[in-house]
Chains A and B, each alone.
Chain A
Amino acid sequence: MTEPNLLLSLTNITKRFGALVANDDISLDLREGEILALLGENGAGKTTLMNILFGHYVQDDGIVRVRTDAEGMTTLPPGSPGAALAAGVGMVHQHFTLAENLSGLDNIRLGTEALLSFGQRATARARIEKIIAVSGLEVDIDRRVADLTVGEKQRVEILKALYRDARVLILDEPTAVLTPQEAEGLFAVLRRLAANGLGVIFISHKLGEVLAVSHRIMVLRAGRKAGELTTAEADRRAIADLMVGKALAEVTRTPGSIGKALLEFDNVCLGKPSTRTALRQVSFKLRAGEIVGLAGISGNGQTTIAALLSGLAVPDRGTLRLYGQPMTMTSPRRLVEAGVARMPEDRQHDGVVGTMSVAENIAIEEVRSPELSRLGFLDRNAMRARAESAIAAYDVRCPGPDAEARLLSGGNVQKLILARVLEREPRIILANQPTRGLDIGAQAEVHRRIIAARDRGAAVLVISEDLDELFALADRFLVVHAGEVAEAGPADTLDRATIGLMMAGQSRTTEPLAQ
């Protein structure tokens, strides 16, 4: 068997941002019909590398070559997305680049040909339908993109790339927004496309799916190539170690002892009923000593539940009971004083004030408490002392208490927030996407802290899009879909497929509801 043709070749790519070396001398080859997984933690340099390939960034060093005809490879001029597109490189970004008010068909043609031209539309339709038949990317291209599901939008994006004769398809974290079932469907499509000779680069930080779909795996770590291996010979553990660069201790958990309900949603409704994020008659309880995992595809009401638990909103109808008492007035400060620890979903945007110091950010929720201020005057020494002990206890890597918070990495910002909210020994904890974007080491640390808080008797709600994380943490599952929350039952009675179906909106009928 002869080796398939080389499609793409990156040689010795180096890219620096200031002092940070985002890509350090990385080389990569992609052949026809191959699915290459680019695996690495956040900040490992995956997206930077692909942005160089696609011409969004100009590399400091190295060459990108692409096959443009049967004979040979052409060097792409740096920093020219147009050249990359013309050479048959297609990219599907994590955040879609579709015009919501146009049909799928027009979105696919957009940028390639004039939308109002006569005749071309029919030709285009015929071509797209042929691509759909070959690839299995089933989607109604006459519907407005705004009316499509996330999975369908992604298919339109892929069709757009194929319509432009892409021979190399780059997918940046394509499964982040999909249910497990939708992800399976995507993998089937990718296999089919690869069988037809397309080269695929699949960027991910999830081990499981990389093993499921790829032929070859390249692991990046801190901007360097940490290893490259064929999927057949790969094993989970070895890849995880390659990604982090050290052997990881598994987070262990023992069953907790469950106490009484500390927080109760009773038929809570909030938001315009026509929107997906509005809550419809939501009822559930958080009990002491229990971690409840809230699964769901993003944009189904999680943000609204988090806003209620953060003190940023009150129910339109229904009751929210805190320690058995209905909450009528709310504010973040009331909840903080009532012993609710809140970890925001977007920790850089809502969690810290970047230009304030680490000490100030640790103090910010309680700056009016008698420990930190008196008669309106700050006790800077107390703030500094609290920061120093928090930095030590939570291993916040920073130059010191006076360093500005914007200088901290994502993981350290999250540790700072953990230190801020957990030091008070809260009774209720809202952990909204607690490890999104964190590396595996920091993830384990955050999980350990959350489990420790539960063991101390706190009631925890974990909202996450990462099912692996929920299975690692949760004692009990809730699933949110289109603003309705369904009880899924204790974690040990559930598997990913069941949760996945519920996330897609199918109610669970085979088993009795828990409680």
Chain B
Amino acid sequence: MSLRLDPREHAPLPLRLLVSLLAGLVALLLVAIPVMAAGANPLDAYVLMAQGAFGSMFALSETLNRATPLILTGLAAAVAFRARLWNIGAEGQLYMGALAAVLVGSGFLQLPGPLAIPAIMLAGFLAGGLMMVIPAMLKLRFGADEVVITLLLNFVVILFIQMLIEGPLKDPLAMGWPQSVPLVAEARFDKLIPRLRMHWGLVIGLVAALILWLMVKRTVLGFEIKAVGENKAAARFAGIPVDATMLKVALISGGLAGLAGVGEVAGVKGYLSADLSPGFGYSGIVVAMLAGLSPIGSVLAAIFIAAVFVGADSMSRATGISNYLADLVVALSLLCVLVGSFFLRFRLRWQSRQEV
């Protein structure tokens, strides 16, 4: 008997869902091993995790609060990856979006009240978008690798932000803490439910997912992005403006990551600090991969990843196991989904081999 691989003609939707679901489950199963090594019962640990993530209104709010930036950075990665534009810089774009929100919304500019929120969103979108448009232009013009550029820009941006919040943007009333001046009250997102941290950024994320879904399925732009991503030569030959499409994708992708930063500043913290994002930009890549680059799937994947983080924190408090387990689950689910995507392209078959 030998194992053989046959290419699949088509991967149906249920199979794709199953692969993402199994990837998450297998990751949790594998993490049971270190949980046991830490001396806890994995089943108990996972029950505690689930309770910590979904067990109460407060837990649910924390999970959705955490999912909000992940939805946006997940969409940022999904839309770029669809066009084979490898945006690894959502983290930096998120911070640039947050910075733009603070610059526009902290009272330097006198904005009429109702315009404050649209203004910081637009500024954040453009700032994040610009951070991706520049690497995309370098790629188109000089063939520069966007993976390297966007990845390295993340560190440049963080250092730039640290410089600003220790210097010109430093809040004099923050008792020496390295944080920026706060947003004015009109530029803050309202909470969705009083006394819970969930805010309007979640709605923005959901609407963005819907718009993106519509764009992918129904619009000329979605059609062109698909053609450019799947076969650049044929797209160019058929008259699709490949470079312009890439730049649009870059603007949308970076802009979505920028919006994630706006949401964190306007919905959660109220000011910019260098610990605004615990890696939302990088986790967005996992979200997009788990979602199979689907916009709607990105929402579900973001909630899963957020639940793992929030649940692990709560489990950690109850059992004393380190909450690094959450990082382990996320990393393993990315690996599992990569393995799983192999099975979307091929099917395994056993066959008897006749010796010659």
Binding site for B on A (CB under 8 A): 18, 59-63, 78, 310-312, 331-333, 335-336, 342, 344, 349-356, 360, 364-365, 367-368, 373, 376-378, 380, 404, 407
Give the contacting residue for A353; candidates B219, B227, B356; CB below 8 A. B227
- Bound-state Cα–Cα, A315 to B236, Å: 19
Q: What are the residues of chain A within 8 A of B234 when measuring CB–CB?
A: 349-353, 364
* Residue B122 is within 8 A (CB to CB) of chain A in the complex: no
Q: What are the residues of chain B within 8 A of A62 when measuring CB–CB?
A: 356
- Bound-state Cα–Cα, A61 to B354, Å: 7
- Bound-state Cα–Cα, A349 to B237, Å: 10
* CB pair A350 B10 closer than 8 Å: no
Give the contacting residue for A311; candidates B219, B239, B356; CB below 8 A. B239
A-B contact pairs, 27 of them (CB 8 A): A18-B6, A61-B354, A62-B356, A63-B356, A312-B236, A331-B241, A333-B239, A335-B239, A344-B237, A349-B231, A349-B234, A352-B234, A353-B227, A353-B230, A355-B230, A356-B230, A360-B226, A364-B223, A364-B227, A367-B223, A367-B240, A368-B220, A376-B219, A377-B218, A377-B219, A378-B222, A407-B9
Q: How far is the CB of A370 from chain B (nearest CB, A)?
A: 12
* CB pair A78 B223 closer than 8 Å: no
Give the contacting residue for B220; candidates A310, A352, A377, A407; CB below 8 A. A377
Q: What are the residues of chain B within 8 A of A61 when measuring CB–CB?
A: 354, 356
* CB pair B9 A367 closer than 8 Å: no
* Residue-wise interface mask of B (46-88) relative to A, using a CB-CB cutoff of 8 A (1 in contact, 0 not): 0000000000000000000000000000000000000000000
* CB pair A331 B219 closer than 8 Å: no
Closest to A352 in B: B234
* CB pair B220 A367 closer than 8 Å: yes
Give the contacting residue for A404; candidates B10, B224, B227, B237; CB below 8 A. B10
User: Most chain-A CB neighbours within 10 Å: which of B6, B230, B356?
Assistant: B356
CB-based A-B contact count at 8 angstroms: 81
Given contacts A312-B237, A350-B237, A353-B231, 20 further A-B contacts (CB under 8 A): A18-B7, A62-B356, A332-B238, A335-B239, A336-B239, A349-B231, A354-B231, A355-B231, A356-B226, A356-B227, A360-B223, A364-B223, A364-B227, A364-B240, A367-B220, A367-B223, A367-B240, A368-B220, A378-B218, A380-B218
* CB pair A376 B240 closer than 8 Å: no
* Residue B233 is within 8 A (CB to CB) of chain A in the complex: yes
* Residue B235 is within 8 A (CB to CB) of chain A in the complex: yes
* Residue B137 is within 8 A (CB to CB) of chain A in the complex: no
* Residue B274 is within 8 A (CB to CB) of chain A in the complex: no
Query: What 10 pairs between A and B have smallest CB-CB spacing?
Result: A333-B239, A332-B239, A353-B231, A364-B238, A350-B237, A355-B230, A18-B6, A353-B230, A365-B238, A373-B220
Give the contacting residue for A376; candidates B220, B227, B354; CB below 8 A. B220
- Bound-state Cα–Cα, A311 to B224, Å: 18
- Bound-state Cα–Cα, A353 to B354, Å: 39
* CB pair A378 B237 closer than 8 Å: no
User: Most chain-B CB neighbours within 10 Å: which of A342, A367, A407?
Assistant: A367
* CB pair A367 B224 closer than 8 Å: yes
* CB pair A342 B237 closer than 8 Å: yes
Q: What are the residues of chain A within 8 A of B10 when measuring CB–CB?
A: 404
* CB pair B224 A78 closer than 8 Å: no
* Residue-wise interface mask of B (200-231) relative to A, using a CB-CB cutoff of 8 A (1 in contact, 0 not): 00000000000000000011111110110011
- Bound-state Cα–Cα, A310 to B219, Å: 26
Q: What are the residues of chain A within 8 A of B354 when measuring CB–CB?
A: 60-61
Q: How far is the CB of A339 from chain B (nearest CB, A)?
A: 13
Q: Given A353-B227, A353-B231, A356-B230, are A376 and B237 also a contact pair (CB < 8 Å)?
A: no
- Which DSSP category, helix, strand, loop or mixed, fits chain A's interface? mixed
* Residue-wise interface mask of B (295-329) relative to A, using a CB-CB cutoff of 8 A (1 in contact, 0 not): 00000000000000000000000000000000000
Give the contacting residue for B239; candidates A63, A331, A344, A355; CB below 8 A. A331
- Bound-state Cα–Cα, A355 to B7, Å: 14
Q: Given A61-B354, A311-B239, are A378 and B220 also a contact pair (CB < 8 Å)?
A: yes
Closest to B224 in A: A367
User: Most chain-A CB neighbours within 10 Å: which of B6, B239, B241?
Assistant: B239
Q: What are the residues of chain A within 8 A of B220 when measuring CB–CB?
A: 367-368, 373, 376-378
* Residue-wise interface mask of B (225-265) relative to A, using a CB-CB cutoff of 8 A (1 in contact, 0 not): 01100110111111111000000000000000000000000
Closest to A333 in B: B239
- Bound-state Cα–Cα, A404 to B231, Å: 13
Q: What are the residues of chain B within 8 A of A364 when measuring CB–CB?
A: 223, 227, 234-235, 238, 240
Q: How far is the CB of B230 from chain A (nearest CB, A)?
A: 5
Q: What are the residues of chain B within 8 A of A344 when measuring CB–CB?
A: 237
- Bound-state Cα–Cα, A349 to B231, Å: 8
- Bound-state Cα–Cα, A378 to B223, Å: 8
- Bound-state Cα–Cα, A432 to B218, Å: 33
Q: What are the residues of chain B within 8 A of A365 when measuring CB–CB?
A: 238-239
Q: How far is the CB of B176 from chain A (nearest CB, A)?
A: 51
Q: What are the residues of chain B within 8 A of A311 when measuring CB–CB?
A: 239
Closest to B5 in A: A18
- Bound-state Cα–Cα, A312 to B240, Å: 12
* CB pair A78 B238 closer than 8 Å: no
Q: What are the residues of chain B within 8 A of A407 when measuring CB–CB?
A: 9
Q: How far is the CB of A489 from chain B (nearest CB, A)?
A: 32
- Bound-state Cα–Cα, A1 to B205, Å: 87
Q: What are the residues of chain B within 8 A of A332 when measuring CB–CB?
A: 236-239
Closest to B221 in A: A376
- Bound-state Cα–Cα, A368 to B222, Å: 12
Q: How far is the CB of A280 from chain B (nearest CB, A)?
A: 25
Closest to B235 in A: A353
Q: How far is the CB of A366 from chain B (nearest CB, A)?
A: 8
- Bound-state Cα–Cα, A331 to B222, Å: 21
Q: How far is the CB of A143 from chain B (nearest CB, A)?
A: 34
* CB pair B219 A378 closer than 8 Å: yes
Q: How far is the CB of B219 from chain A (nearest CB, A)?
A: 5
- Bound-state Cα–Cα, A429 to B49, Å: 65
Q: What are the residues of chain A within 8 A of B227 when measuring CB–CB?
A: 353, 356, 360, 364
Q: Given A332-B237, A333-B239, A354-B230, are A78 and B356 also a contact pair (CB < 8 Å)?
A: yes
- Bound-state Cα–Cα, A351 to B233, Å: 8
Q: How far is the CB of A278 from chain B (nearest CB, A)?
A: 21
Q: How far is the CB of B348 from chain A (nearest CB, A)?
A: 13
- Bound-state Cα–Cα, A397 to B350, Å: 31
Q: How far is the CB of A294 from chain B (nearest CB, A)?
A: 19
Closest to A353 in B: B231
- Bound-state Cα–Cα, A342 to B219, Å: 25
Q: What are the residues of chain B within 8 A of A333 when measuring CB–CB?
A: 239, 241
Q: What are the residues of chain A within 8 A of B237 when measuring CB–CB?
A: 310, 312, 332, 342, 344, 350-351
- Bound-state Cα–Cα, A310 to B234, Å: 12
- Bound-state Cα–Cα, A129 to B93, Å: 67
Closest to B10 in A: A404
- Bound-state Cα–Cα, A335 to B219, Å: 24
Q: What are the residues of chain A within 8 A of B222 when measuring CB–CB?
A: 378
Q: How far is the CB of B123 from chain A (nearest CB, A)?
A: 25
Closest to B215 in A: A376
* CB pair B233 A350 closer than 8 Å: yes
Q: How far is the CB of B340 from chain A (nearest CB, A)?
A: 19
